Amino acid sequence: MSFSQRVFCGQVTPEDIGRNVQLCGWVDAYRDHGGLLFIHLRDRSGIMQIVFSPEIASADLCRKAASLRTEYCIAVVGDVKKRMAGTENPNIETGNIEVMVTQLTVLSESDALPFAVSDKAMVAGASTAGADNVAEDLRLQYRYLDIRRPQVRDNLMARHRIFQCVREFLNSRGFVEIETPVLTASTPEGARDYLVPSRVHPQNFYALPQSPQLFKQLLMFGGMERYFQMARCFRDEDLRPNRQPEFTQLDIEASFVDEEFLYELIEELTVKMFAVGGIELSRPFPRMTYGEAMDTTGSDRPDLRFGLKFVDVTDVFSKTNYSIFRQILQRGGCIKGINIKGQSEKLSKNVLQNEYAKEIVPSFGARGMTWMRAEGGKLESNIVQFFNSEELETLWKKFDVTDGDVLIMIADSSYSVVTSVLGQLRLHLANRLGLIDENCFYPVWITEFPLFEPKEEGGVTSSHHPFTAPDRVDFDPKNIEELLSLRSRAYDLVMNGEELGGGSIRINNRDVQRKIFAALGLNEEEMREKFGFFLRAFDFGAPPHGGLALGMDRTVSMILRTPSIRDVIAFPKNRSASCPLTGAPSAVKREQLAELGLLNLGGQDVLPGTAEKENKVDHLSWVSRIGIAAQERPVIEEILAEAEELALIAFQKAGKEEPLFTVVPVSNRTRPGTEEKRSELAQKGQLLKSAPSVKGNYFKVASILE
C-alpha cells in the first residue's frame, strides 16, 4: 500500500469537505449503531471520526470494519463530509466533519490493552476511562502505549517546540551548537560518576559526563566564543522527585562577556520559552544575594510567590527577662520570625501549640517555637506575660501587626538552625493556608554565593565547581577561615522555589586556578593527574568567559505545569532510578565481566564478610550485624548446636536425610548486667564497618520518599 497521499487527521478542515483523503493511525474508540459504525481514528496530530456506512461501503468492507478493536493500526480512504446538525463533537478539533470510508487496510492488530489509552469521548458529555489512575510503573512498563495518550504526546510535542525556540534564539545571537564527548574522564564535580569499563584498556574506565564543563571551557580556549548544546548529562545522585539519573541541560558558554551579558541573554530566552506555554514573564528579573535569600527565606532557591519573609528580632530581646531567649542570646544565638497576615482564625491556639510547637517545628529540627496572636490591639499567647510592654510594642511595629495576624518566632544558638527551620515552616504554612498562587511565576537571580563550603572531615569543598571565578584573587589557599569568606561570581536562576539552572564567570588565569585546586587539597601530582590537560590549555591565551546551564526537563515541566519531570521525558526512569520498560539496570553475563577484566577487580582483595563465613558464630554475627563478645560465644555455639540437632530430628521424622533449615525454641536472651557502656566497636571506629555506605557517622540508605 502506498502512503504518498496520506494526510494527518488533525490537518483535515471543513475546507476539505468533498475531498477524497487517505488517513492512517490507530483506532481510538468505536461505536456500532447497528450496521452504521463510527470510529475515532487517532494519529499524532489529533482525531478524526471515520464512518462505515452500508450506503457507501461494500458489505465486505463493513464486515471487515466490524472486526476492528481499539489500538488496531489501520489505513483508510474516504470522502470528507460535514456532520449532520446536532451530531458535532466539541471534544475534538475536527468535531464538525467526518470521513465516509470506502477503503480499509488493517496494518496491524493489537492485543488487549494493559490500560486505557483513549481520553476523548465519542459523544459530547460522555466519560472515558483514561490512564490517569493507572500506577506509574505500569505506564512506564508500556511507555510506548502511554505515549499514544494525547496528554503525554502533547507534552513531548511542546517539549520539541520549546527546544526549537531555544535553538532559533541562540542561533540568532551568534551561538554555535557543538557536541562534546559522552565518554570522558572521571572528574570531581559533586555527584558520583557513572563509570563505563573499557575492554581495550582493561581495568580502566570512562565516565559519563555530569556536565560538559571542561569541554565547553576548552571550546572557549579554542576560540569558538559562543557555544551551546542540548547536552545529555549523567549523575549518580540520591533520589529526589525532580531528578533523573540521566537528563538534558541547555549548556551555554560565551567569551568576552560578564554577568550582565548572561543575565540579559538568559532572561530573554526564558521569556520566549515560557511564552511557548502561554506564560508571560516580566523583565528584568529581580536579583537577590545568597546572604539575603538565606536571611529572609532560609533557602538559596526561595519561592517568592508569597510573603512570609523573615524579620530579625534579636535586638528586641537583648535585655529580655524571658529566660529561654536570654540563654540563647548569651550563647551568641539569634531570633527570627514571620507574620502570617490575617490567619488567626485558621491558626487556633490548639493548632499553634499542639500541632506546630509540639510536632511540626521539632520535626524540622528546632527545640521549640514561640507564637503570638494579635487580637484587640494586643499580642496574646501562653507566654506573653514574660515580656515587658516595650518588647511587645516593638514586636508590633517590626512585624507591622494588625488584628488577626499570627506571629511565629524561632530562637536558637545556631543561625543555620533558625533559618532552616523557619524556611521549612514558611513553605509549610503557605501550602496549608493556600497562600501560593499556582498561576504565578516569579523568577529571581540568586547571586554572590560562597565560593567554598566547609567539609565535615575538615577543609573545604566548592559550592558550585572548582572552575568558578572568586570575587577576589588575593587569598591564601591554606587559610580556611579566609577561604570560607570568599564570594563567587556565580548565579542561579530560581523560579517558584525551583532552581532552573545556574552558572558562573569562569577562571581564565592559570595561577588562580591552581590556587583553587590547592585550596581543595590537591597537590601538584593530583592536579597533573586529574586536570593536567586542562591546566595546560591556560598557557595559550585563555579568554575571559562564562556560562550557564538550564535543566531543560525541569524547565519544560514547569512551563507545562506537570507534577513531575517524568511527564515530559519520553522514556524516564522511575522513582528508584530503574526502567520498568527495559529492566535496566540489570545483571550481565559473567563472560562479559571477564572480557572487561572486572572479575576479581583489585586482585586478591577479600570481599567483606568472607572470613566471617568460615565460622558459624562469626557468620551469624556478620549477617545479623550484631557483635558477639568472647564470653558469649560458648552460649551461642551451644544454641546453634541445639538448633541443628532439633532441625535434624524434625527432618528425619519427615522422612528426609538432611535439614533445609534450622529452628530453635522461642526464648528471650539478654546480655548480663544493667550498666550501660559504649560499644568497643564504636570506640575503635568499626561500628559501621558492615554498612554498604556511610555518611558522617551514620549508616546511609537511599532516599525513597518524595
Q: Strand runs (DSSP E) across 60-137, as ranges?
A: 73-82, 97-108
Tell me the pLDDT band of 706, cut-offs 50, 70 and 90. Answer: very low
Asked which of 133-137, 448-452, 521-525, 639-643 is least confident by mean pLDDT, the reply is 639-643
User: What pLDDT score does 651 carry?
Assistant: 67
| % of the chain residues with pLDDT over 90 | 74
Q: List all residues 6 or more positions away from 48 whose beta carbon is below 8 Å from its beta carbon.
A: 9, 10, 12, 23, 40, 41, 92, 94, 97, 98, 99
Q: Does residue 685 have a pLDDT over 70?
A: no
Domain with CATH 3.30.1360.30 in the chain: 306-432
443-551, which class in CATH? Answer: alpha beta
CA distance 493 to 444: 6
CB count within 10 Å of CB 389 equals 7
Handedness of CA 462, 466, 469, 470 (dihedral sign): positive
Grid coordinates representing 247? 537528563
- Summarised one tens digit per residue, pLDDT across range 386-413 is 999 999 999 999 999 999 999 999 999 9
Whole-Å CA distances, 615 to 488, 604, 612, 624, 661: 56, 21, 6, 14, 18
Grid coordinates representing 335? 531570633
- Summarised one tens digit per residue, pLDDT across range 217-274 is 999 999 999 999 999 999 988 767 678 999 999 999 999 999 999 999 999 999 999 9
Pairing status of strand 195-197 against strand 176-177: unpaired
Q: Does residue 628 have a pLDDT over 90?
A: no
Average pLDDT, the chain: 90
CA distance 38 to 89: 13
Q: Does residue 354 have a pLDDT over 70?
A: yes
- Summarised one tens digit per residue, pLDDT across range 485-498 is 999 999 999 999 99
Q: What is the reported pTM?
A: 0.82
Question: In terms of C-beta density within 10 A (0-12 exposed, 13-18 middle, 19 or more buried), how is residue 572 classed?
Answer: buried
Domain with CATH 2.40.50.140 in the chain: 9-108
What is the CA 363 to chain-centroid distance, rounded? 23
- Summarised one tens digit per residue, pLDDT across range 574-614 is 988 899 999 999 988 888 888 888 887 665 555 555 655 56
Tell me the pLDDT band of 27, cut-offs 50, 70 and 90. Answer: very high
The answer to whether 627 touches 643, Cβ cutoff 8 Å, is no
Domain with CATH 3.30.930.10 in the chain: 154-280+562-568, 443-551
CA distance 116 to 111: 12
Tell me the pLDDT band of 687, cut-offs 50, 70 and 90. Answer: confident
- Which string of b and e fits 130-149 if b means at least 16 CB within 10 Å? ebeeeeeeebbbbbebbbbb
CA distance 583 to 585: 6
Selection from 416, 167, 389 nearest residue 300 by Cα: 416
Just give the CATH number of 154-280+562-568: 3.30.930.10
- Give the residue, 619 or 614, on which the prediction is more confident: 619
Question: Within 190-313, where are the H helices?
Answer: 213-221, 259-276, 290-297
Structurally, at CATH architecture level, domain 306-432 sits in 2-Layer Sandwich (3.30)
CA distance 9 to 48: 5
Tell me the pLDDT band of 515, cut-offs 50, 70 and 90. Answer: very high
Mean pLDDT value across residues 518-526: 92
**Amino acid identity at 489:** R
The answer to whether 284 touches 176, Cβ cutoff 8 Å, is no
- Give the residue, 661 or 554, on which the prediction is more confident: 554
- Summarised one tens digit per residue, pLDDT across range 563-575 is 999 999 999 999 8
Whole-Å CA distances, 96 to 12, 79, 90, 309, 591: 11, 14, 8, 53, 62
Grid coordinates representing 319? 535585655
- Largest Cα separation within the chain, whole Å, is 97
Pairing status of strand 452-454 against strand 378-380: unpaired
The torsion of the CA quartet 268, 490, 507, 478, rounded to 10 degrees, works out to 180
- Summarised one tens digit per residue, pLDDT across range 439-456 is 999 999 999 999 999 988
Q: Does residue 507 have a pLDDT over 90?
A: yes
- Give the residue, 211 or 690, on which the prediction is more confident: 211
- Summarised one tens digit per residue, pLDDT across range 182-222 is 999 887 656 789 999 999 998 899 999 999 999 999 999 99
Helix (H, G, I), strand (E, B) or coil at 347: coil
- Summarised one tens digit per residue, pLDDT across range 330-345 is 999 999 999 999 999 9
The helix-helix angle for 259-276 and 150-172 (nearest 10°) equals 150
Selection from 14, 99, 92, 96 nearest residue 65 by Cα: 99
- Summarised one tens digit per residue, pLDDT across range 142-188 is 999 999 999 999 999 999 999 999 999 999 999 999 999 999 988 76
Looking at the domain 9-108, which fold is it? OB fold (Dihydrolipoamide Acetyltransferase, E2P) (2.40.50)
Q: Does residue 667 have a pLDDT over 90?
A: no
Q: Which helix (H) or strand (E) holds 43?
A: strand 37-43
